[in-house]
Amino acid sequence: MPGVTNTILDQLIEAFSRAPDRASVASVYQARRGNPVLLSRRLFPRLALLKGDESARRLLDSTEGVLEIAVDDGSVLSNIDTREDLQRALCGRL
């Protein structure tokens, strides 16, 4: 999540603190869920069952109580997971 700013993090933290009953708070840009995502402790047991590089996306897709926060920064859709991702980011194509 190389381009995520403090402003985005602050938005998510504030929303999370105002919605303690939610399972998670996720950033959304142009109707696409991105990163980062804040997770409540009630999801920890299910997270512990994930294997390898399996993402929590599927977990969130099957979980009720996800609060989506619209952000005006597409950086929430960018992530570096592989060498190829890093190379694209260094070339300005991520």
Break the chain into its structural domains and give their ranges: 6-90
Which whole number is the average pLDDT over 18-33?
93
- pLDDT at 52 (0 to 100): 72
- pLDDT at 28 (0 to 100): 95
In 3D space, the residue among 11, 33, 37, 15 whose CA is nearest the CA of residue 77 turns out to be 33
DSSP designation for 56: T
pTM above 0.75, yes or no: yes
d(CA 67, CA 64): 9
State in words which class domain 6-90 has.
Answer: alpha beta
**If you write DSSP's letter for every residue of 14-26 in order, what string do you get?**
HHHHH-TT-SEEE
Phi, psi at residue 87, to the nearest 5°? -60, -45
